[in-house]
Structure 1
Amino acid sequence: MALLTNLPTDLLRTFIAVVELGGHSKAGAVLGRSQPAISLQIRRLEELVRTPLLMQEGRAIHTTPAGEALLSYAREMVRINDEAVRYFHRSDMQGVLRIGLPTDYAVAFLQNTLTTFLRQNADVELEIHCDLSRELHQHLRSDDLDIIVATMPSARMPYLSRAWVEQPIWAAAESLKLSHARPVPLGAHLEGCDYRTRMIEALDAAERRWRIVYTGPGISGLQNAVLNGLCVTALTRATMMPGMRELQQEEGFPKLEPLRIGLFYKHPRLSPAGLQLVSDLVAGLESVGSGVRPVPG
């Protein structure tokens, strides 16, 4: 039987750091190694996989197609390795973690994961920041946040750990009566919200008139506006509430385009507590129902 090649986690960790931090020098500063040592590790990894992994364009370093493929495996292999090590080093779990979430995820299933994590790790403090996905991505890039859950404008994005598909649905109060002769009263988050964009695009494509009657940043205010019969909106099944009903295509509400959601973090910059929370979030994603389905990143 042919011997399989082992990919050492220290080489994979270095590869992730070079890609995510944008260079050998920055990766060396975080990992405590010289630039020549980082370059040597990358060459050794390329020898093991028998293909170039990185290419340079000017001062920028990019992954080759093979490097992009390896990056997904590398992140998962290093995450599992670190999870195993943390099992035997629970005393390292401390510090502050800054988490960015869209408002609907802040009140849905991730809330349970975060609460459980805090109960099990009393020395860790969480700071939760809720915002539009585009703002969360910017905060992660500038190191103002450690971990984010956000929508994905493209299928391949930096710092992606997990991706899944979310299907928005039309929601209205059970008692609300809608007339085709009048514009659809819409409730939405602020300009730039992906749910808002999908509602407008769907109604425009169906040539159905609409008007925004409620705008707000928080999910609870939007839910209350729907329950009070003020408007209809797009929600996920996790944020539907008793007293609401799903509006159907035969009522003039076309199916909404699905959303691709991702879990993002910079592995080289995360503390042991942060890496543990990532593992807990991944487990939470994989245990929920059909509304959230992990898909390849």
Structure 2
Amino acid sequence: MAGLTNLPTDLLRTFIAVVELGGHSRAGAALGRSQPAISLQIRRLEELVRAPLLAHEGRAILPTPAGEALLSYAREMVRINDEAVRYFHRSDKTGVLRIGLPTDYAVAFLQGTLTRYIHGHADVELEVHCDLSRELHQHLRSDDLDIIVAVMSDATMPYLSRMWTEQPIWVAAEDFHLPAHAPALLGAHPEGCDYRARMIQAMDTIERRWRIVYTGPGISGLQTAVVNGLCVTALTRATLLPGMRLLRESEGFPALEPLRVGLFYKHPRLSAAGLSLVSDLVADLERVGSGVQAVPA
């Protein structure tokens, strides 16, 4: 169609690499191009979109507002391009993939995605690392992980591909009853867990006394403590078990602040196997609810 401008995926790939790897030299090393060639591609892309895309802040190179807007489109366009290419190069999906999943998030449907992926890609070795979201973000930044699903501390964060909202809910054992004036007996993951912070914030907001009587890093241990009546806690609906019930505001448990959760990866660092898994994760995320959004949100 006359008048439309095509954005070449090689220019978009270079732009993503410069932003995500922190400079022209690192992008060139990752893409096998010289620094002048990288600079030339960025200038060409700026000409096509008619806007400056990168700015220097001290020694750092950061995207301009126009660059931030383009970055989300660029990630999606390059991902779809690579998905199409992978379809015709299916035998290239080999290697090791390191996945980070949060301790405090319901990952049942993601585990299903990972299981199906393993069964369909025998040559790919999958390593799953569970931790607090803040630790997962650090592992991704330091290239210790390839893909993470993690709670977001800010509305916009580096390497974000998809985001959605989770609503934590108060749960207890079916026969658990606690007078509204009594201290709340809480079960939680260790300090740094976003669900733990929201429970404490909710109790402090209504000036209700509370005590943490169970602390553990794993979701199964926390679920067992709740079912056995040791404590109450905050979960998502996907992690409710038989023998649990929801706690009402009239019982002294006010609504909890929602959580933003994101899918993150560094596109220039990801192998063909990793990009294939990202596509599977994106497809499953889009099936779990309308709250899943591409970036920009």
| TM-score (ref. length: structure 1) | 0.97
Q: Is 1:59 equivalent to 2:59 in the alignment?
A: yes
In structure 1, C-alpha distance between the alignment counterparts of 2:213 and 2:156, rounded to whole Å: 35
Q: How many residues align?
A: 296
In structure 2, C-alpha distance between the alignment counterparts of 1:198 and 1:240, rounded to whole Å: 18
Which residue is 1:113 aligned to?
113
In structure 2, C-alpha distance between the alignment counterparts of 1:296 and 1:270, rounded to whole Å: 19
Which residue is 1:278 aligned to?
278
Per the alignment, do residues 13 and 295 of structure 1 end up closer, same or farther by CA in structure 2, a change over 3 Å counting?
Answer: closer
Shift of 1:105: 4.4
Q: Deviations over 1:102-141 (max 9, x none)?
A: 1254741100000000011010011110000010011111
Shift of 1:54: 0.3
Q: Is 1:251 equivalent to 2:274 in the alignment?
A: no
Q: Which amino acid aligns with 2:163?
A: A
Which residue is 1:122 aligned to?
122
Q: Secondary structure at the match of 1:149?
A: strand
Q: Which amino acid aligns with 1:57?
A: E
CA RMSD of aligned residues (A): 1.2
Which residue is 2:157 aligned to?
157
Question: What percentage of aligned pairs have identical amino acids?
Answer: 80
Q: Is 1:24 equivalent to 2:24 in the alignment?
A: yes
Q: Deviations over 1:64-103 (max 9, x none)?
A: 0000000000000000000010001011111000000012
In structure 2, C-alpha distance between the alignment counterparts of 1:255 and 1:84, rounded to whole Å: 44
In structure 2, C-alpha distance between the alignment counterparts of 1:49 and 1:17, rounded to whole Å: 18
Which residue is 2:133 aligned to?
133
Contact 2:98 2:127 in 1 (8 A): yes
Q: Which amino acid aligns with 1:197?
A: A
Shift of 1:143: 0.5
In structure 2, C-alpha distance between the alignment counterparts of 1:200 and 1:105, rounded to whole Å: 17
Shift of 1:2: 4.3
Which residue is 1:99 aligned to?
99
Q: Which amino acid aligns with 2:214?
A: Y
Contact 1:12 1:78 in 2 (8 A): yes
Which residue is 2:172 aligned to?
172
Per the alignment, do residues 197 and 76 of structure 1 end up closer, same or farther by CA in structure 2, a change over 3 Å counting?
Answer: same
In structure 2, C-alpha distance between the alignment counterparts of 1:229 and 1:128, rounded to whole Å: 31
In structure 2, C-alpha distance between the alignment counterparts of 1:285 and 1:212, rounded to whole Å: 33
In structure 2, C-alpha distance between the alignment counterparts of 1:272 and 1:55, rounded to whole Å: 31
Shift of 1:293: 3.2
Contact 2:165 2:259 in 1 (8 A): yes
Q: Secondary structure at the match of 1:39?
A: helix
- Residues 181-192 of structure 1 correspond to what in structure 2 (within 5 A)? 181-192=181-192
Contact 2:101 2:107 in 1 (8 A): no
Q: Secondary structure at the match of 2:126?
A: strand
Q: Secondary structure at the match of 2:145?
A: coil
Contact 1:165 1:294 in 2 (8 A): no
Q: Secondary structure at the match of 2:98?
A: strand
Shift of 1:287: 0.6
In structure 2, the gaps of 5 or more residues are none
Per the alignment, do residues 58 and 104 of structure 1 end up closer, same or farther by CA in structure 2, a change over 3 Å counting?
Answer: closer
Which residue is 2:72 aligned to?
72
**Which range moved further: 75-84 or 100-109?**
100-109
Q: Secondary structure at the match of 2:191?
A: coil
